[in-house]
């Protein structure tokens, strides 16, 4: 069970990254829990790695007492939100997007893509969306 400080860090990261409640719940469900209070040590580590991968930075040492925003250039939060929005708009499953990421980037899941790979994935999904709209007669 995570400590109060660890839970606070998770929720601060969620806020700083601009995660919506469905995105946050999806992240927790991927590790097999419905609440951050139910995380075991390995699940907590996986959640923290995911949050750091999305751009959350927790400085080490005395500076760690204050939370800082990640540099704008290294944040993948906007790309993550764009991919989630495309998934919702086209009603794509996580498995579908994971398969596209596996094929394009050679990663097991799209959430493990780096910023450049996420840009390519977002572009591919946008292209797919435009093709789908053209096929359905939407402008």
The angle that helices 41-53 and 21-31 make with each other, rounded to 10 degrees, is 140
Mean pLDDT across the chain: 81
Look up the pTM and report it: 0.49
Task: Decide which of 58 and 134 is more confident.
Answer: 134
pLDDT at position 120: 92
pLDDT digits (tens, 9 = 90+) for 76-130: 778 888 888 898 889 988 889 989 998 998 887 888 888 888 889 999 999 999 9
Is pLDDT above 90 for 20? Answer: no
- Cα 84 from chain centroid (whole Å): 8
Is pLDDT above 60 for 135? Answer: yes
Residue 33 tokens read as: 């829990």
Is pLDDT above 60 for 65? Answer: no
Per-residue pLDDT band for 67 (boundaries 50, 70, 90) equals very low
CA distance linking residue 110 with residue 99, whole number of Å: 8
């Amino acid at each position: 069970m995570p400590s109060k400080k660890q839970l606070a860090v998770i929720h601060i990261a969620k806020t700083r990254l601009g995660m919506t409640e469905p995105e946050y719940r999806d992240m927790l469900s991927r590790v097999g829990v419905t609440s951050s209070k139910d995380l075991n040590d390995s699940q907590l580590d996986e959640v923290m790695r995911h949050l750091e991968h999305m751009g959350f930075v927790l400085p080490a040492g005395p500076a760690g007492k204050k939370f800082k925003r990640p540099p704008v250039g290294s944040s993948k939060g906007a790309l993550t939100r764009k991919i989630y929005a495309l998934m919702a708009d086209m009603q794509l499953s996580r498995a579908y997007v994971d398969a596209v990421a596996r094929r394009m980037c050679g990663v097991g899941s799209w959430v493990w893509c780096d910023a450049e790979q996420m840009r390519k994935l977002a572009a591919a999904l946008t292209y797919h969306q435009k093709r789908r709209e053209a096929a359905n007669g939407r402008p």
